[in-house]
Structure 1
Amino acid sequence: MTQSLTGKVAVITGASRNMGRAFSEALAAEGASIVIHYRNPEMRTEAEDLASKVQKLGSDAQIAQGDLTNISEIEKLFEITMKRFGRLDILINNAGMIIKKPVLEITEEDYDRIFAINSKAAFFCMREAAKHMADNGRILNLGTTLLGATTGYYSIYAGSKAPLEDFTRALAKEIGHRGITVNTIAPGPINTSFFHPAETPESTEWLKHQSVSGQLGEISDIVPMVKFLVSSEARWVTAQTIFVNGGFLAR
């Protein structure tokens, strides 16, 4: 069976669990070597377990811990990648956090924390990837469908993800001559441990019924779009924000 990503190297941030873990396994199954980033030292066991899974799929893996709100840690992540593999072909900017509060309850600390990971870290990961990435590479940012929704309580979550659209368009224009594509994928509510802590049973039901089928999305609904966007077949798709949300909204 042909593996479409054989010889490629992918950095996936926030890779130890949820969507990042699934993306790592999916790309490894296609032959890519995976740099598994995780933030908290207590996640090391999960990262090592994922590395073992990647290796069982026949690909190579490198784990890398770091707080990506610190630019020197971002630079270190890409230094580790180049030292281990000598190349970079794919970046999936998956690391993020969610804060759900009314605007009147949001503190300066809340604001600074969420923008540091969802916006600043993503931007500087894109910058470092652009420095090191081989021609015809792929950069993929994880946004949110809430970018197009009029929904309360998600102001700083959606707001901290909103800059990804502009970062995506600008970088796509700047490095597109090298065959590198840059896109943002904007999932709707996904049934993960990232989603549920911020929700109540009532809000979960409401969000379910915003989709056309009355259910949350699953990670398996997002993986095929990710696999396509990092593939060679997606060379003509760039500078886009693509909504994958079961009809939650269209824009």
Structure 2
Amino acid sequence: MSGRVRTIVTADPELDDLNSLLRLLLYTNEVDLQGLVYASSRFHWRGDGAGTTFFLPDREYAEPQTSWRWAPGERFIHDAVEAYAQAYPNLAVHDDRYPSPDALRGIIRFGNVDFEGDMSADTPGSRLIAEALLDDDPRPVHIQLWAGPATLARALRSIEERYAETRAWPQVRASVSRRAIVTKFASQDGTYDDYILPVWPDIRVTEAAAMAWGYLIRETIRD
């Protein structure tokens, strides 16, 4: 795997994310896919299952909601991997680098999906990202934010909380900032502007959007 790009994808239940994921899985022979993470955004969040309501102004809803556009038992990433499993025998004939369906199932995690921008607690998805940024693999970690940045923000905050009061913090912060390469589609929650940019200003971020079906094309790179 050493010559292949490491990447982690975070996505919400938007149809464009599902379509992009199905396409990505057909190229998993070319990349080292290390995480498929359910994420939230201003357009999709699960709620905490306890009836807690949430509201932010200028959203698609006009009053507090317990969840927003998140189907009960949502599993679109799992479903995409199951579709891949059906095609896998044929894909493997052409390239034995395609990961097994079980390998892909093993990297699916739920991130910070309860509410838009919620980074209050660690989640399986945030831990997966943090562990990748701290491991001994020298390759950069390309983190694709197809949804909001909250799960990445929680991963970075957990690293900060672990090391900020130690002598290792400057070295850890520099290493993580150097290794993380983030691509995001706009700011689908407030955690990039409120936390990631002020605390981790040296992380390379590419913002990409596209004028297709109503989306604005824009690509900017911040080093």
TM-score range, shorter chain: 0.3 to 0.5
TM-score for the superposition, normalised by structure 2? 0.45
Higher helix proportion, which one? 1
Larger RCO: 1 or 2 (CA < 8 Å, sep 6+): 2
